[in-house]
Amino acid sequence: MADEEEAELSEKQKKEIAKWFLLKSPPGEIQFVAKDVKAVLNDDVLYEEAASEAFPLYNKSHLISLEMPGRIGDVIVTSYGQLNETEFIDPRTAQVAVVDHIKQVCTEVRPALDEELPSAYVEEFRCALDAEILKYVDEAYPKGICSVYCGNGKDVEGPGSDFELVVVISAARHSPQNFCNGSWRSIWSIEFKDELQMLELSGKLQVGAHYFEEGNVQLDAKHECKDTTIFQSSEDSAIAIGNIIRQHETEYLSSLEESYSNLPDTTFKDLRRKLPVTRTLFPWQNTLQFSLTRDITKELGIGK
């Protein structure tokens, strides 16, 4: 009996597969992936549909930052600052940026409306925290970008009500010419609970990296943490929050460095058989003698 011919994928299936590849792009590489996806699809209409759905999700999940016209600053593409599909507010400058998601550029800016900004009371706390976080990011993350948004309660006029601020930190280092791209993303939600005179912090940290020289190695590490401190004045609260964020992020980075520095002696060894089928132990003490690229080149006769 002859094998049945494989059914042709529907346009919907093709679009979903294209979106999957776009959304799974490593930090800073979606434009390269998009070029290949477009070539494979060979259908401009289908590609535009997939890209128009995938790029906004990718940009927001990766917290990309875009320079606003006039060099007035950078805006972070995040759901916490999103006003509509293409407009994102920058609280520090009180400007609204219009974003082209697929080209990943800011096309224009406009002043934020009063109803798009928090009340003077909330803004006092937001502004103090923004200054503290900006100082920390400048010290800790080269080329890092940060912003503080009002998550809830932006109309609170004074003491007696709860509100929420959200700290977003994004740092990326893209070096495709050196076969390496990476990013740091952290989001901290701070609930100001007036009745309890307590601040509750909840942080989500994520590190992504892609190294692709003579191979393909990716890192996608995530970490969540919580903490509390007392509700104080805007300046004192900002300092306390900044210290907590600094402590947790420093500890997480240190733990990553420690765990990955032990990879050659622990994890990589556990991935192999203790005694391979050749009955010869792998010479871990001299791994430099092995080169996948060199062996393949020799086997295929490349360069002769």
The ranges assigned to domains in the chain are 2-61, 63-114, 118-265, 277-304
Task: Report the length, in residues, of the chain.
Answer: 304
Cα–Cα nearest to 59, from 92, 38, 36, 81:
81
CATH number attached to the domain at 118-265: 3.90.1150.210
Cα–Cα dist 252/63, whole Å? 20
Look at residue 44 and tell me whether its pLDDT is greater than 70. yes
Contacts of the segment 106-110: beta carbons below 8 A, 24+ positions apart: 106/66, 106/67, 106/68, 106/69, 106/75, 107/69, 108/69, 109/68, 109/69, 109/70, 109/72
Cα–Cα dist 104/74, whole Å? 13
In sequence order, which residues have a C-beta less than 8 Å from that of residue 42 and are 6 or more positions away? Answer: none
What average pLDDT does range 1-24 have in this prediction? Answer: 80
Percent pLDDT > 90 in the chain is 71
pLDDT at 33: 95
Residue of higher predicted confidence among 304 and 275: 275
For residue 58, name the pLDDT band (cuts at 50, 70, 90). Answer: very high
Look up residue 241 and give its amino acid: I
Look up residue 194 and give its amino acid: D
Cα–Cα dist 205/209, whole Å? 14
pLDDT at 92: 96
Identical fold at 63-114 and 118-265? no
CATH number attached to the domain at 63-114: 3.30.1140.60
What average pLDDT does range 223-243 have in this prediction? Answer: 97
Cα angle value 178/183/185 (rounded, 5°): 175
pTM higher than 0.85: no
Q: What tens digit of pLDDT does each residue of 104-145 get?
A: 999 999 999 999 999 999 999 999 999 999 999 999 998 899
Cα–Cα dist 139/47, whole Å? 41
Cα–Cα dist 167/146, whole Å? 7
Cα–Cα dist 59/81, whole Å? 13
- Give the C-alpha distances (Å, rounded to integers) separating 37 from 6, 7, 40, 267: 21, 21, 5, 34
Is residue 219 within 8 Å of 190, Cβ to Cβ? no
Q: What tens digit of pLDDT does each residue of 164-209 get?
A: 999 999 999 988 888 889 999 999 999 999 999 999 999 999 999 9
* Range 2-61: architecture per CATH: 2-Layer Sandwich (3.30)
